[in-house]
Amino acid sequence: MLAWLSENWANILMIVLLVLIVALIVFRMVRSRKAGKRPCGCDCAVCGACCACKKPAAKKEP
């Protein structure tokens, strides 16, 4: 087992780093979604897909 670990320590380290990076990205996305921020993080007025990320407006009754 130690021989296998010593031969593959670089691969194990890279896999652990990639998993940590992905976990941090997902954590940040969840936090921003809960805070009500837009997923793209930019000005929706100039966004080509702004109608897809806008929240539906409340209908006003006359």
Please check whether residue 26 is in contact with residue 20, taking contact to mean a CB–CB distance below 8 angstroms: no
**Is 8 in a helix, a strand, or coil?**
coil
Structure-model confidence comparison of residues 5 and 61, the more confident one: 5
pLDDT number for residue 33? 82
Structure-model confidence comparison of residues 15 and 62, the more confident one: 15
Count the alpha carbons within 13 Å of 22 in the hemisphere toward its beta carbon.
6
pLDDT number for residue 59? 61
Q: What is the dihedral of CA 51, 54, 58, 59, to 10 degrees?
A: 0
The model's pLDDT over 4-59, given as tens digits with 9 standing for 90+, comes to 989 999 999 999 999 999 999 999 989 988 887 766 666 666 666 666 665 555 56
Please check whether residue 16 is in contact with residue 30, taking contact to mean a CB–CB distance below 8 angstroms: no
